[in-house]
Amino acid sequence: MFDYNFHWRPVMKNLPDLLEAGLLTLQVAVLSMVIGIGIGLCLALIRMNRNGVLYWLATAWVELARNTPALFQLFFFGFGIGAFGVHLTPFAIVLAALSFNCAGYLAENFRGGFQAVPETQMRAARSLGMTQWQTYTRIIIPQVFRIVYHPITNQMVWAVLMSSLGMLVGFRELSGETQFFASRTFRIFEYFAVTAVIYYVIVKCILAASRLLAMRLFRY
């Protein structure tokens, strides 16, 4: 019944290629997080202000990002906008979709973070003559980042794992590369097992790095 013979050699031969693809995965995930944090912060601030067209745009963004499958979001950037003659490279498609998704989720995290900073902090800063901008950049946002630090770490992990969808739009990141080799050698189990281990190690490294960074950043 169980007459499958494992052949690990081809996987091992391609290990450097897989690790390189893992680096690409990490790269697209980190980039999308940087973009997602920037946009997510803006979305949260816009939504707290509650005025006009911008509010509705930001709300639509957050709603779509959080309540539609990530795969659809990817296909939208991959094939959807192709209908309007916009063609992105696979890297750009995945980066755009991940950034879109992360920004939406992070916006809600940030919103909660802003609500958790006592309003009196704002008053104290303003009473010292700080402008609204100075108050946000020096007093409020640094505290928000501490509150949302672990949710951001989670989102980072999620971005790494979600980037695997990239193989469906022809992106040769870790999963795409694995799929490519697996289908050439038919050693499907072996390739995906090794890749799973690589994902696991990447995520563990991110969590460890995050913990170290937190110790440096948050001494209070």
Partner 1 sequence: MIEIRGLEKYFGALQVLKGIDLDVRKGEVLSVIGASGSGKSTLLYCINGLEPIQKGSVFVDGTDVHAKGTDINKLRQKLGMVFQQWNSFPHMTALENVALAPRIVRGKSSGEAREIAVRQLKHVGLEDKLNVYPSALSGGQQQRLAIARALAMEPAYMLFDEATSALDPELVGEVLDTMRLLADEGMTMICVTHEMGFARDVSDRVAYFHRGVMEEIGPPSQIFCDPQSEHTRKFLANVR
Return residues touching partner 1 (CB under 8 A).
118, 120-121, 123-131, 134, 138-139, 142-143, 146, 218-220
Q: 92 vs 117, which CB is nearer to partner 1? A: 117
**Residue 146 CB, nearest approach to partner 1 (Å):** 7
Residues, the chain, total?
220
**Residue 145 CB, nearest approach to partner 1 (Å):** 9
- Compute, in degrees rounded to 10, the torsion defined by CA atoms 12, 209, 35, 125: 180
**Residue 33 CB, nearest approach to partner 1 (Å):** 22
What's the Cα-to-Cα distance from 3 to each of 6, 130, 179, 190, 192, rounded to whole Å? 10, 73, 23, 15, 19
Q: 42 vs 141, which CB is nearer to partner 1? A: 141
Q: 100 vs 114, which CB is nearer to partner 1? A: 114
Q: 68 vs 134, which CB is nearer to partner 1? A: 134
Work out the number of other CB atoms within 10 angstroms of the CB of residue 40.
28
Q: 2 vs 220, which CB is nearer to partner 1? A: 220
**Residue 119 CB, nearest approach to partner 1 (Å):** 10
**Residue 131 CB, nearest approach to partner 1 (Å):** 6
Q: Among all chains, which residue has been given the structure tokens 């795969």? A: 71
DSSP assignments along 160-197, one per residue? HHHGGGGGGGT--SHHHHHHHHHHHH--HHHHHHHHHH
Burial class (CB in 10 A: 0-12, 13-18, 19+), 149: middle
Q: 13 vs 150, which CB is nearer to partner 1? A: 150
Q: Among all chains, which residue has been given the structure tokens 């799929």? A: 179
**Residue 74 CB, nearest approach to partner 1 (Å):** 37
Which residues, in sequence order, are CB contacts of 59 under 8 Å at separation 6+?
Answer: 47
